[in-house]
Chain A
Amino acid sequence: EVQLVESGGGLVQPGRSLRLSCAASGFTFDDYAMHWVRQAPGKGLEWVSGISWNSGSIGYADSVKGRFTISRDNAKNSLYLQMNSLRAEDTALYYCAKVAGTAFDYWGQGTLVTVSS
């Protein structure tokens, strides 16, 4: 059974940093691209960042480019999102999602990031 478990969320002050993790199991992690998608409270889904199976291709939404860094450790079956210079508008539930082809076929339950002073 595919499982994606996010962690690392919490309350953080504007301008500070946070690192999210996603532990994957139930599939061959290094065969698949992985992404982060967020959802602000009461709002829709927003793609944040994605990384190919071998970290050779990485993409970011314009809203986080230059502040967030995605990475993965295939030996640990883990995906990460380093978030720097956090802003109030980064407040959201952050999901990690596995990609099959061009669709997100499995999602974690999310980790909540709240940016507030």
Chain B
Amino acid sequence: QSALTQPPSASGSPGQSVTISCTGTSSDVGGYNYVSWYQQHPGKAPKLMIYEVSKRPSGVPDRFSGSKSGNTASLTVSGLQAEDEADYYCSSYAGSNPWFGTGTKVTVL
């Protein structure tokens, strides 16, 4: 088992949308609807943004959405805002243990 694969970086202008992929295998992302996404600003703890592929916790703006197709999950941030600039990590269970993605740095141009 190894980390889930994410692109190192993604960017967009304010108001645009950006989509981050998270690629695993049929043993993790593809095998369970247990994908979650985390936002991490520099020097801060991660924050849960999406759980169970597409559900948003209370307080997370609806600009954040999640989906999954086969072994790849995606996080889309619509209407980009300056405060969305951060690192984003996906996570999925593989058997009984969770795995994190490699992380994607989102830059707001």
- Residues of chain A at the chain B interface (Cβ within 8 Å): 35, 37, 44-47, 50, 57, 59, 61, 95, 100-110
Closest Cβ of chain A: how far from B8's Cβ, in Å? 10
- Residues of chain B at the chain A interface (Cβ within 8 Å): 3, 32, 34, 36, 38, 40, 45-48, 51-52, 57, 89, 91, 93, 96-103
Give bound CA distance, A47 to B40, whole Å: 15
Q: Is the CB of B45 within 8 A of A45?
A: no
Residue from the list A57, A95, A102, A105 in contact with B98, Cβ < 8 A: A102
Chain A residues within an 8 Å CB radius of B51? 100-103, 105
Q: Is the CB of A47 within 8 A of B97?
A: yes
Closest Cβ of chain A: how far from B109's Cβ, in Å? 23
Classify the secondary structure of A's interface with B.
Answer: strand
Give bound CA distance, A35 to B100, whole Å: 13
In this complex, what residue of A is CB-closest to B33?
A: A102
In this complex, what residue of A is CB-closest to B34?
A: A102
Query: Quick one: given A44-B3, A44-B89, A45-B38, are A104 and B46 in contact (CB under 8 Å)?
Result: yes
Give bound CA distance, A46 to B98, whole Å: 9
Q: Is the CB of A102 within 8 A of B36?
A: yes
* 5 other A-B residue contacts (CB within 8 Å) besides A44-B100, A108-B45: A45-B46, A45-B89, A50-B97, A50-B98, A104-B91
